[in-house]
Amino acid sequence: MDSYDNSVVLVKYDNEWKNYYILEKHQLLKLVGKYILNIEHVGSTSIKGLSAKPIIDIMIVVTDLKMALNFSDILEKNGYYFRHDSGVDGEYFINKKENNIDYYIHVVEKESGRYNNFILFRDYLNTHPNESLKYKSLKERLALDFKNDRKSYTLSKGKYIEKVIMLAKSAKK
């Protein structure tokens, strides 16, 4: 079942988000570990102190994106909703809602653009608190502007996210 809704509600950072991620990571490894390379906590709930929609974003890393088709049935039999067409190039999208917790799972190829951008963004904001505060302020303002329009909220963050990824790439040189 798809738990997507159009509202944008941010909540204060919750230390439990990391625990939810860890529990889900163990569940995913148990179910599909033989098909994957790694699992990462990404998105706003992975950035210490950041307000976020209470959705745990998880990235499953595979050698080849088609590998996800080998385990989609396993996940669907265990309460996950697998979208074969997520609308995002280079990614399969899976979601699950359990005990009022939403999990958005992004299946991407190792070292792909999607993989690198998720990691660069997360790591940069976790190591640059001033930049993280700027992003928090932007998100809070946009959540008010687009409280019933998640697509516009997400699109409006795009330029800032691109800027942070560029900063992260420059910092790695």
Give me the long-range contacts of 21-25 (CB less than 8 A, separation at least 24).
21/45, 21/46, 21/56, 21/58, 24/56, 24/58, 24/96, 24/103, 25/58
- Please state the domain count of the chain: 1
Question: Percent of the chain scored above 70 by pLDDT?
Answer: 95
Check pLDDT > 60 for residue 109.
yes
The CATH number of the domain holding residue 72 is: 3.30.460.10
pTM of the model: 0.91
Q: What is the mean pLDDT of the chain?
A: 92
Domain membership of residue 77 as a residue range: 16-172
Q: Residues 38-91: pLDDT tens digits?
A: 999 999 999 999 999 999 999 999 999 988 889 999 999 999 998 866 667 788
Q: Is 147 a member of any domain?
A: yes
pLDDT at 3 over 70: no
Please indicate, yes or no, if residue 4 is contained in any of the structural domains.
no
Q: Report the pLDDT value the prediction gives residue 2, as an integer from 0 to 100.
A: 41
